[in-house]
């Protein structure tokens, strides 16, 4: 039976969980994820973790936060003056918002606090500071 090796294009189903068991992503209700092993299209631990398995086999792969989205960095949380926001900007806590850096490049932020005069915005990835665990099932080697 064929086994996964570097350079193979594969299709996998996956479920991503946090340390507390919360599911943050899954392909179970959609098409399998397709990627080429060794091209850096997914976390390297996933690529390395599926080498040697055959279609139908499953594997659990843990990725520490340092190799996932890094630690949550406080310097990426900032206060945004309401006066600088568009008039119709009325966000709620937890809402993702596209903002623009000083150099004009877009950045995603999450509203984490609201006051009379400002919004607190978090530009960390939503999974920053979290260890990730993926249950992977190899569907096929394409």
Q: What is the pLDDT of residues 18-31, one digit of tens each?
A: 999 999 999 999 99
Q: pTM here? A: 0.84
* Cβ contact 97:108 at 8 Å: yes
- Parse the chain into domains and list their residue ranges: 9-69+128-141, 74-122
d(Cα 40, Cα 133) in Å, to the nearest integer?
18
CATH tag for 74-122 (out of 2.40.50.140, 3.30.365.10, 3.20.140.10, 2.40.10.330): 2.40.10.330
Neighbours of 55 (CB within 10 A): 16
d(Cα 7, Cα 33) in Å, to the nearest integer?
16
**Domain 9-69+128-141 bears CATH identifier 1.10.10.10:** no
d(Cα 82, Cα 35) in Å, to the nearest integer?
43
Confidence band for 100, pLDDT divided at 50, 70 and 90 = confident
For residue 102, give the 3-state DSSP assignment.
Answer: coil
């Amino acid at each position: 039976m064929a086994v996964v090796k570097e350079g193979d294009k594969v299709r996998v189903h996956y479920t991503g969980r946090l340390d507390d068991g919360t599911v943050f992503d899954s392909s179970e209700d959609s098409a399998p994820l397709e990627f080429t092993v060794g091209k850096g299209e997914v976390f390297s631990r996933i690529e390395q973790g599926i080498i040697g398995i055959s279609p139908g086999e499953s594997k659990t792969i843990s990725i520490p936060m340092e190799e996932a989205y890094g630690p949550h960095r406080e310097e990426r949380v900032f206060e945004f003056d309401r006066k600088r926001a568009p008039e119709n900007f009325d966000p709620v806590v937890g809402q993702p918002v596209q903002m623009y850096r000083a150099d004009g490049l877009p950045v995603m932020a999450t509203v984490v606090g609201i006051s009379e005069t400002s919004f607190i915005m978090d530009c960390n990835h939503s999974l920053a500071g979290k260890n990730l665990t993926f249950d992977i099932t190899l569907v096929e080697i394409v």
